[in-house]
């Protein structure tokens, strides 16, 4: 779509406002809006100003003037505003040098795609994430210096079997939410509305269903697209899921582990390399994969502890990544086996379907950074012909402690993951895709604003354990 086409779309929609969206360093959409008359063809080069010092992970206050420059290819009509609004995803630019801003996560992803082509390995990295989420009926939480609590509720929640008043039963038992039909699954119509809104903004959906956990865990899967496009689409995905839930008086969250004792929300990421319209991951090696695909897996396995700092970037992520529970933490690969962190799906033998499913990421990540980092690890594996070792086709959860001791594993905390990223990030710097400044800012932000504040605060369960000491 050209700038002129965007202006025609705005006119056809009767748009009165333009919503300019970009992503902060942690991965949350930010926006500013201008009246439609301010948008012309020059806007797609000149951009619009904003204060970068007020955005998480961006510029200091003494260098705060920045520009958002809309990408014409991303134009969509916003589904949720009362007045017709045109939405544009933007890149961030320095107003003095007119160069892309190095800490703009979308710029990192654009550089990653360019680097892949530069290597000659492939010209496209296709990405297909499976982002799980919860839809709750109510959420309450508070943290002060003398009080802390959270409380979640869902009409589906197993804990509501004995709720007084009108109670129609059909609760989802813990870990039995995959796939009961209505009335046990109360969210089918809401998910269908989400799918319809996603289709309206050009996102093709492959499947929608209730997920394993009680209390409204869901999954809606998008059809694979190239890396930057998919990161853009995942931002729309979260936006639509949250706003459709809100329209129904409910609340959606992509927090990885909101419930104790039940499954958390992961985001399995399917990836494959293509060149000149041909898939490169199909072959006659293990799992019907090519040698390139196995080397890709080797790169992901080698760098997985560092990748975790970007793919599982919250303290809450490590409530899900616990050995022996639902999320894979052991650095192994296998066909069909969902207990390995890299799985080779075997539903379809078509060369076009051959891909690697990376199972440890979760939907709290910044998709521009996470997808780029996963691809860069895979590129490192291909360039250096990293051997992934032998596949592990056993149920890893059933291995003995002696067998498990021979299998390396993911970091056990955000602190461990950040330490791993500091020790292992040269593969991310190739082609200037990630810069040292971006990595240093990421680690600093996570430690200062998330890791240390959580570490300093007592949690309610500590009172259960220790109050009578």
Q: From first to last of the 469 residues of the chain, give the pLDDT tens digit.
A: 899 999 999 999 999 999 999 999 999 999 999 999 999 999 999 999 999 888 999 877 556 889 999 999 999 999 999 999 999 999 999 999 999 999 999 999 999 999 999 999 999 999 999 999 999 999 999 999 999 999 999 999 999 999 989 999 999 999 999 999 999 999 999 999 999 999 999 999 999 999 999 999 999 999 999 999 999 999 999 999 999 999 999 999 999 999 999 999 999 999 999 999 999 999 999 989 999 999 999 999 999 999 999 999 999 999 999 877 668 888 999 987 778 899 998 877 888 999 999 999 999 999 999 999 999 999 999 999 999 999 988 777 677 778 777 788 899 999 999 999 999 999 999 999 999 999 999 999 999 999 999 999 999 999 999 999 9
- Taking CA atoms, 299 is separated from 61, 98, 367, 405, in Å, by 39, 35, 19, 21
Buried b (16+ CB within 10 A) or exposed e, 311-340: bbbbbbbbbbbeeeebbbbbbbbbeebebb
Confidence at residue 107, expressed as pLDDT on a 0 to 100 scale? 97
> Beta partners for 132?
219
Confidence at residue 63, expressed as pLDDT on a 0 to 100 scale? 65
**Measured distance CA(300)–CA(424) in Å, rounded:** 12
Reduced 3-state DSSP string for 9-36: HHHHHCCCEEEEEEECCCCCEEEEEEEH
Confidence at residue 327, expressed as pLDDT on a 0 to 100 scale? 80
Confidence at residue 330, expressed as pLDDT on a 0 to 100 scale? 87
**Measured distance CA(271)–CA(378) in Å, rounded:** 9
C-beta neighbour count of 186 within 10 angstroms = 20
pTM: 0.95
Confidence at residue 444, expressed as pLDDT on a 0 to 100 scale? 97
Q: Which residues are tagged catalytic? A: 51, 130, 132, 211, 219, 268, 338, 357, 359
**Measured distance CA(132)–CA(283) in Å, rounded:** 31
DSSP per residue over 67-126, as a string?
EEEE-GGG-EE-SS-SS-EEEEEEEEE-TTT-PBPTT-HHHHHHHHHHHHHHHTS-SEEE
Place of tokens 């602190």: 415
**Measured distance CA(316)–CA(312) in Å, rounded:** 9
Confidence at residue 398, expressed as pLDDT on a 0 to 100 scale? 74
Confidence at residue 61, expressed as pLDDT on a 0 to 100 scale? 55
């Amino acid at each position: 779509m050209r700038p002129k086409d965007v202006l025609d779309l705005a006119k056809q929609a009767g748009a009165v406002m333009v919503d300019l969206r970009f992503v902060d360093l942690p991965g949350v959409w930010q926006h500013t809006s201008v009246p439609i008359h301010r948008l012309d063809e020059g806007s797609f080069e000149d951009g619009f100003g904003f204060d970068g010092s007020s955005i998480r992970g961006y510029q200091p206050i003494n260098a705060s003037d920045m520009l958002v420059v809309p990408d014409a290819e991303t134009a969509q009509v916003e589904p949720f505003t009362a007045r017709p609004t045109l939405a544009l995803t933007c890149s961030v630019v320095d107003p003095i040098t007119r160069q892309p801003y190095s800490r703009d996560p979308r710029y990192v992803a654009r550089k990653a795609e360019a680097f892949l082509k530069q290597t000659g390995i492939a010209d496209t990295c296709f990405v297909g994430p499976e982002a799980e989420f919860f839809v709750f009926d109510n959420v309450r939480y508070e943290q002060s210096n003398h009080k802390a609590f959270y409380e979640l509720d869902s009409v589906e929640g197993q804990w509501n079997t004995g709720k007084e008043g009108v109670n129609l039963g059909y609760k989802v038992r813990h870990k039995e939410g995959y796939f009961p039909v209505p009335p046990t699954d109360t969210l089918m119509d809401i998910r269908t509305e989400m799918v319809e809104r996603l289709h309206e903004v050009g996102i093709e959906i492959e499947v929608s269903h209730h997920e394993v956990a009680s209390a409204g865990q869901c999954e809606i899967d998008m059809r694979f697209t190239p890396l930057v496009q998919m990161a853009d689409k995942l931002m729309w995905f979260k936006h639509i899921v949250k706003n459709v839930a809100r329209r129904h008086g409910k609340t959606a969250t992509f927090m990885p582990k909101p419930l104790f004792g039940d499954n958390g929300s992961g985001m399995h990421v399917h990836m494959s390399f293509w060149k000149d319209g041909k898939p490169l991951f199909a072959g006659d090696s293990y799992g019907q994969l090519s040698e390139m695909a196995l080397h890709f897996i080797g790169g992901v396995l080698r760098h997985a502890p560092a990748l975790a700092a970007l793919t599982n970037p919250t303290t809450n992520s490590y409530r899900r990544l616990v050995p022996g529970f639902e999320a894979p933490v052991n650095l192994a690969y296998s066909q069909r086996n969902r207990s390995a962190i890299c799985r080779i799906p075997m539903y379809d033998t078509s060369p076009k379907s051959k891909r690697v499913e990376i199972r440890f990421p979760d939907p709290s990540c910044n998709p521009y950074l996470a997808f780029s980092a996963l691809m860069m690890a895979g590129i490192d594996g291909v360039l250096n012909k990293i051997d992934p070792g032998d596949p592990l086709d056993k149920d890893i959860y059933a291995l003995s402690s002696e067998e498990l001791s021979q299998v390396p594993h993911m970091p056990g905390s955000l602190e461990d993951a950040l330490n791993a990223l500091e020790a292992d990030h040269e593969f991310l710097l190739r082609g200037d895709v990630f810069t040292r400044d971006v990595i240093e800012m990421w680690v600093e932000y996570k430690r200062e604003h998330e890791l240390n504040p959580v570490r300093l605060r007592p949690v309610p369960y500590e009172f259960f354990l220790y109050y009578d000491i």
